[in-house]
Amino acid sequence: MATDRIKTIQRHLLAPNLSLKPTAAVGGPSGQFRYTLDNPLLTPQQREFYEINGFIVIPNVVEPELMEICAQRFIDLCEGKFDKGSMTMMKDVSLMERGATGQFLFNKVQDIAFDDVFSKYILHERLLDYVQCFTGPNVMAMHTMLINKPPDSGAMTSRHPLHQDLHYFPFRPADRIVAAWTAMEPVTADNGCLVVLPGSHRKGVLYQHEYPEWEGGVNKFYHGIRGFEDEPLLLLPMNPGDTVFFHPLIIHGSGANVTKGFRKAISCHYAAAECEYIDVKGTSQENIAVEIESLLKKRGLEADYNSLWHYRSRLARGVSVNL
């Protein structure tokens, strides 16, 4: 029975590109803290855990009631009940082909930092208290989104390939960037919870990202890395309001949603306002910059990659510096 369960979870993940070898996150003394700053919130043990593993799950950071409000806001947005403004709606490629509508079609809404409802999460005081442990007191909300996993069509397009978030970010240093990813409803292996490769951030390497060669197709901008198919991955089941904070170099992804329900999460990548933009031309990040600039041009917008990030970001706490 246990063997059958493991095989089932493997199918739900990113197979054939990912296999699952259950593992535990590691712990132990780190010697000194590089990835967190002195703060009154995280215990030394929690800081050591993040130092070694590159992530930490904190229960009950955000009240579930706010998650319910944000979920309804997303559903209303999918049903066209209000103008999306500058927010960007993303569709699942296989569900689009099957004529799905409403929240059964959209897998993500991006650039939600200025929305009256979603911003209550982005600017959530307790959330930002934790964020400061990684960024310092001047905090910019750089990349904001609500991620929806509708029931998979059978093509497995609800998977998200293994990747590193720094691939998308033209600003540094990486150690002063942190993702906050909060479950809006129960997140399980069956509906596509996050999987991480603990400690992968410590190599300090940003790997080449490309679209995976998946038979059922892959969603727009879901770039991934290869060569980690046999690495031990850790599943992160979570309850509504639980939040995982993780380093932008940690390797992570998520599996397919094989349930009949949804898997919603809301997320923001925060950065210290002291971070600076870099030129990604000639680097492994050039492909994503070219792809996004080409999309903007098709929409009649003339903007370079760095300017796009400047326009989509928002000061969350403290003062503006460089970003």
Q: 86: closest CA among 65, 52, 112?
A: 112
pLDDT tens digits for range 125-171: 999 999 999 999 999 999 999 999 888 777 666 777 899 999 999 99
Asked whether 69 and 124 are in contact (CB, 8 A), the reply is: no
CA–CA separation, 42 vs 183, rounded Å? 20
pLDDT at site 94: 60
Q: 166: closest CA among 271, 313, 18?
A: 271
**Scanning the structure block, which residue is given the tokens 């590109």?**
17
Q: 133: closest CA among 274, 268, 36, 52?
A: 36
pLDDT at site 214: 57
CA–CA separation, 165 vs 251, rounded Å? 8
CA–CA separation, 66 vs 235, rounded Å? 25
pLDDT at site 17: 36
pLDDT at site 16: 33
The residue ranges of DSSP E strands in the chain, in sequence order, are 55-58, 88-91, 106-110, 139-149, 160-163, 171-172, 177-183, 194-196, 234-236, 243-246, 252-254, 263-272, 276-277, 314-317
Q: Which residues in the chain land under pLDDT 70?
A: 1-31, 93-100, 155-157, 214-221
CA–CA separation, 268 vs 165, rounded Å? 11
CA–CA separation, 167 vs 290, rounded Å? 13
| Local structure of 95: helix, strand or coil | helix
pLDDT tens digits for range 216-239: 555 566 778 988 878 889 999 999
Q: Check residue 186 and report its DSSP letter.
A: -
Residue 176 tokens read as 């002063």
Query: What is the model's pTM?
Result: 0.88
**Scanning the structure block, which residue is given the tokens 């397919």?**
256
pLDDT at site 1: 40
Q: If 0-12 CB within 10 Å is exposed, 13-18 middle and 19+ buried, where does residue 297 land? A: exposed
The amino acid occupying position 117 is V
pLDDT at site 165: 95
Q: How far is CA 23 from CA 58, 123, 244, 259, 266, in A?
A: 19, 34, 18, 24, 26
| Local structure of 78: helix, strand or coil | helix
| Local structure of 140: helix, strand or coil | strand
Tell me the Ramachandran region of residue 192: left when phi exceeds 0, alpha when psi lies from -120 to 50, beta otherwise.
Answer: left
